[in-house]
Amino acid sequence: MLTFNFTLTIILLLTTLIPLLHLSYWPVRVLDFPRLQIACLWVVLLITELFTLPLDSLFSWGLIAVGVAALTRQLWWIIPYTRLAPTEVNPAPHHPHIPRIKLLTANVLTPNRQAEKLLSQIQEHKPDIVVTLESDQWWQNQLDALQPEYPYTLKCPLDNLYGMHLYSRLPLHDASIEYLVEEDKPSMHAQVELASGDRVRCHFLHPAPPSPTENSESTERDAELLVVAQKLRNQKNPVIVTGDLNDVAWSKTTRSFRTVSRLLDPRIGRGMFNTFHAKYRLLRWPLDHVFHSSHFSLVRMFRLKPFGSDHFALFTELAFTPAEYQQQEAPEATQQEVELALDKTQEESVSPKDVPTPGN
């Protein structure tokens, strides 16, 4: 039994330590994703060790100490995305005249043909903006049923799992489709006009993940996220960034995105809102995101019901509360995070100048 516990400790220790390496290769970066699952395995192993190891042995206590330290490291990353942490975004005040914006972000999974399930949920929840990822021409044909109610659109049907569509009840200004890092991976950028007349700069992203079937390294994904963060760093106007970022909320890259851009994450202190994988309950993590400037507070956020995709759709309602701008503390980047953003974008030869500034 001692050999069994020792072997499991070494395996789990490697899954905990390997992500600390400053390497972009996909086998390293993919270990950022299952931190919750790895933490749960540490808990099970520690309980097992307490009941099976000879507790009069220093070696046994050494294994337990290693497990506690590694579990603490995993929890350090994921605790902010639980109710054990303080919220970063204030709850919206209960006032009927405060302008609001409702967003629905959905990775539809290109081969999925259950569009009616997604369309029915859109009709039920009535978001102001619907953004779909992985939507091809077939999906565009189905989603066009929304146009009577969502007349403002931006469409980019692709067959490479990176198509993207935007349907909006609210007027769009300076809307554009860009290819920031990879020539076949689009992003969308627009200024959205709220019912109050206020305008919000929005960026919709879907970079490719590090994986054996996509990119062998995370550099392309990291560069796209961080170049947008650099562009937004000194932005004083309202901003929302949403999409399937193919990165988990607690990774080093996403953390750097938040701190460099100084955008807030409404999930902090509220929950993980795991949107992938919809079909495997034990293998889920947060891949679909909404970040926003301090001009907003949170009304509600939730996952929609399954609709045949490997992702759940994410619904977020924000209140435009600029009077609270100084009451929400935006994260600050360390010098290391600023340098990481610079290194990643230079590696892919992309500049903040390449990111459009809708409305300017």
Task: Report the distance separating Cα 99 and Cα 96, nearest Å.
Answer: 8
Greatest mean pLDDT range, 92-96, 312-316, 333-337: 312-316
The SS3 of residue 149 is coil
Q: pLDDT exceeding 70 applies to what percent of the chain? A: 99
Q: At a CB cut-off of 8 Å and minimum separation 6, what does 50 contact? A: 64
Token pair belonging to 122: 């859109």
Q: Is-contact 244 105, C-beta < 8 A? A: yes
Task: Show the 3-state SS of 272-311.
Answer: CCCCECCCCCCCCECCEEEEECCCEEEEEEEECCCCCCCE
Q: Convert the pLDDT of each residue in 329-352 to its tens digit.
A: 889 999 999 999 999 999 999 999
Q: Is-contact 320 194, C-beta < 8 A? A: yes
Q: Which residue has the higher pLDDT, 138 or 214?
A: 138
Residue 324: predicted pLDDT: 66
Q: Convert the pLDDT of each residue in 145-182 to its tens digit.
A: 999 999 999 999 999 999 999 999 999 999 999 999 99
- What is the model's pTM? 0.95
